[in-house]
Amino acid sequence: NIERAERLQKLPPYLFQELDRLRDQVRARGVDIIDLGVGDPDQPTPPHIIEALNAAAQDPRTHKYPAYSGLSRFREVAADWYKRRFDVDLIPNQEVITLIGSKEGLAHFPLAFVNPGDVVLTPSPAYPVYKGSTILAGGVPVEMPLRKENGFLPDLAAMDPALLQKAKVMVINYPNNPTAACADLEFYERVAALAKKHEIIVVSDAAYTEMAYDGYRPPSFMQVAGAREVGIEFHSLSKTYNMTGWRIGFAVGNAQLVAGLGQVKSQIDSGAFDAVQLAGITALTASQDCVAQMNKLYAGRREVLVKGLQGLGLEVERPKATFYVWCGVPAGQTSTDFCRKLLEEAGVVSTPGVGFGSAGEGYVRFALTVDEARLQEAVDRLAGLGL
Ligand code: PLP
């Protein structure tokens, strides 16, 4: 009997897969595709990090099974980085864990803390993993809509007290994928207070804190009082250092939450390749000029795309952080129809907002993953469509 398990049948369809299929179809017709779909940096990993990997891979000690929770040295470095960046003190061997990319930790976390039937509050629109991993753990995802009028923050004051009473976990993600919205410390304080009152675990996804513009430095949930009692924060080296393929990230926060995640990991994976962790140490400790340079590059691209889309009469805001531009769909079309039109008639790949959850309808996401000339070309092509 090769029927898939019920938990897989409960997963929502993976819209992005369908979009990839459409893109490949259009490309096969000979169309020059400008791909602003996936959030994967186009620039290479900085050379000093590659050199660190090369050197580490020469050391036979890195050829062994890693420790499940990561190298002590990596965890110390991650804690030091949190101290420097956010002025947060962490105990490395209790409050920090290495991950095989932050997605791995986000996906495994519900297995540690969500019982069948437990409610997990997930933002909508959002990175789809929060919902998928909740379902795989038998939990029930309940969407918290992120609306423009609230700055794409969940409206905490309007949340149903009965739902809050039932909720086991709340997921927040700022700077946000896909809306590019940012949260301030006052918001985080309100989340921590709410979580404490209703005994909710807070999962904060901080994958984009280092990708920010115009001198803005996004804060961490861990900075607010009480965060460590209720929360865990997931961090990633993927976007910051153009290391998406390397699979390296980490989580920090409440020691029991970190330990629970570690217990799941000990059963399921065998930790991140030590040589990649050693290269990650270099990434976190060496000069951060490469990050500043990347942000400058994205900021230039952002200007081209935002001005271009605004010039076409589309509703877009200039993102303060992330490499996403969240763009309103002209009235009378769904986000899926609009994306399909951009792809089929202009060869431009975007992601329909509805793919991130029902509250994403009415928007599409563009990723700033091509150079300024190509972005201008994309804008020119869209201009030709007479939107
Ligand atoms: N969180 C968010 C919001 C993301 O957009 C992504 C990747 O796109 C991730 C987490 C996962 O990143 P990684 O697993 O590469 O650390």
CATH number of the domain at 157, please. Answer: 3.40.640.10
Regarding whether 309 and 272 lie in a shared domain, the answer is: no
- In this predicted structure, the answer to whether residue 16 has a pLDDT above a threshold of 80 is no
Which pLDDT belongs to residue 14? 73
Residues 6+ apart with CB under 8 A from 164: 194, 198, 200
Regarding whether 346 and 245 lie in a shared domain, the answer is: no
Which of 174, 208, 238 to mutate to test ligand 1, by most ligand atoms within 8 A of the CB atom?
238
Which pLDDT belongs to residue 232? 98
Which pLDDT belongs to residue 307? 98
Does 11 fall in a domain? Answer: yes
Segments forming the whole domain that contains residue 318: 6-44+289-385
Distance 173 CA to ligand 1 centre (A): 10
Range scoring the smallest mean pLDDT among 5-19, 136-150, 190-204, 254-268? 5-19
Which residues are near ligand 1 (CB < 6 Å)?
39, 101-103, 127, 173, 177, 205, 207, 236, 238, 244, 249
Closest atom of ligand 1 to CA, residue 235: 16
Closest atom of ligand 1 to CA, residue 236: 16
Closest atom of ligand 1 to CA, residue 102: 16
Regarding whether 248 and 108 lie in a shared domain, the answer is: yes
Does 1 fall in a domain? Answer: no
Distance 385 CA to ligand 1 centre (A): 33
Regarding whether 151 and 39 lie in a shared domain, the answer is: no
Regarding whether 348 and 203 lie in a shared domain, the answer is: no
Distance 178 CA to ligand 1 centre (A): 11
Q: 116 near 139, Cβ under 8 Å?
A: yes
Residue finishing a domain among 285, 302, 336: 285
Note the pTM of the prediction, 2 decimals: 0.97
Residue finishing a domain among 285, 310, 339: 285
Does 206 fall in a domain? Answer: yes
pLDDT tens digits, 171-206: 999 999 999 999 999 999 999 999 999 999 999 999
Which of 97, 100, 104, 127 to mutate to test ligand 1, by most ligand atoms within 8 A of the CB atom?
127
ipTM > 0.95?
yes
Residue range 272-290: mean pLDDT, rounded:
98
Closest atom of ligand 1 to CA, residue 40: 8
386: confidence class by pLDDT, cuts 50, 70, 90: confident
CATH number at residue 360: 3.90.1150.10
User: How many folded domains does the chain comprise?
Assistant: 2
Regarding whether 257 and 114 lie in a shared domain, the answer is: yes
Residues 6+ apart with CB under 8 A from 371: 42, 301
Residue finishing a domain among 238, 253, 285: 285
